[in-house]
Amino acid sequence: MSRLGVPAALPPVRVHDLTVSYHGHPAVHHLSGEFAAGALTAIVGPNGAGKSSLLSVLAGTRADFQGRLQRPPAQQVAYLPQTASIDRTVPVTVHEVVAMGLWARLGCFRALDEAGWVSVTHALAAVGLSGFEQRLIGEMSAGQAQRVLFARVLVQDAALILLDEPFNAVDARTTADLLAVLQRWRREARTVIAVLHDLDQVRDHFDQVLLLAREAVAWGPTAQVLNAEHLFKARQMAESWDDDAPVCGGRP
Ligand SMILES: Nc1ncnc2c1ncn2[C@@H]1O[C@H](COP(=O)(O)OP(=O)(O)OP(=O)(O)O)[C@@H](O)[C@H]1O
């Protein structure tokens, strides 16, 4: 068990015949497989491949999908959406944003207890933002804001961590620091699933890869998935996408 009780052998996150569609057009089509428990899995693929759509289903923020999904309960899931989807015009402080990660444990109307304060302080220190507690989130740079969101994920102490393009707009040093946080999560046997575009980063740091082009092109150990043949196939599939294609069988 880790510090706050993450089980050493979490059940895997599984999808079976999962289809996600928008206005009747599939973004993810008939996906079946499982994300290895306690490992780092990258979801990669061309633009429009369905990566973010799949992650939002795994996160529980999209419920309108077909097929089956097995994942831990919501309190054990932390989700870091793309930075662009965070409204930085809301006048909240860095401390308050990170403390939101404790809402599942404390409720959103309860004051932080001492353990909560310690946990926020430690999380901000872990991402190199000690001293920024009272700054408004809108006053942070894009890279600093990403560190804040990582800190929020840290305090959630989740068994399943979902990251959507976590290193976008983040400089090399910050990326290295945040990759170290990912390695720590792996040592703690948490399951991490991240949407990424940098294949070298994936090769260097991730155990498993799902190569997605609306359907799974390949899914398994990184070295087996990221080969020229699979990457070529994903590109070919992307070129032949018809964004107006219906979901097969005429389902919504
Ligand atoms: N809210 C939405 N409404 C309608 N269509 C959507 C919506 N979100 C995504 N789509 C469509 O679903 C498909 C998959 O999009 P998604 O964002 O999941 O892909 P992605 O692989 O994450 O892409 P990228 O690498 O560009 O971020 C695209 O054709 C996109 O236009």
Domain count, the chain: 1
Q: Kindly state the average pLDDT of the residues 171-189.
A: 90
Task: Look at residue 26 and tell me whether its pLDDT is greater than 70.
Answer: yes
* Ligand 1 pocket mutation, candidates 21, 51, 64, 168, criterion most atoms within 8 A of CB: 51
Residue with tokens 């703690």: 188
* Nearest residue by C-alpha to atom 6 in ligand 1: 22
Whether 19 and 26 have beta carbons less than 8 Å apart is answered as yes
Task: Look at residue 3 and tell me whether its pLDDT is greater than 60.
Answer: no
* Nearest residue by C-alpha to atom 11 in ligand 1: 27
- Give me the domain span that covers residue 235: 1-72+160-167+197-252
* Nearest residue by C-alpha to atom 25 in ligand 1: 47
Q: Kindly state the average pLDDT of the residues 165-187.
A: 89
* 60 in a structural domain: yes
* 47 in a structural domain: yes
| Residue range 211-237, pLDDT digits in tens | 999 999 999 999 999 999 999 999 999
| Residue range 112-157, pLDDT digits in tens | 778 888 999 999 998 889 999 999 999 998 888 889 999 999 999 9
Q: Kindly state the average pLDDT of the residues 153-169.
A: 92
* 189 in a structural domain: no
Query: Domain of 243: which CATH number?
Result: 3.40.50.300
Read off the pTM. 0.89
* 81 in a structural domain: no
94 CB-near residues (< 8 Å, 6+ apart):
124, 129, 132, 133, 134, 135, 136, 137, 140, 148
Is the model more confident about 163 or about 240? Answer: 163
Report how far residue 179's alpha carbon sits from residue 205's, in angstroms, rounded to the nearest whole number.
Answer: 8
* Ligand 1 pocket mutation, candidates 18, 20, 21, 22, criterion most atoms within 8 A of CB: 22
β-strands 40-44, 191-195 pairing: parallel
What is the Å distance from ligand 1's center to 189 Cα?
A: 30
Q: Kindly state the average pLDDT of the residues 238-247.
A: 74
* 106 in a structural domain: no
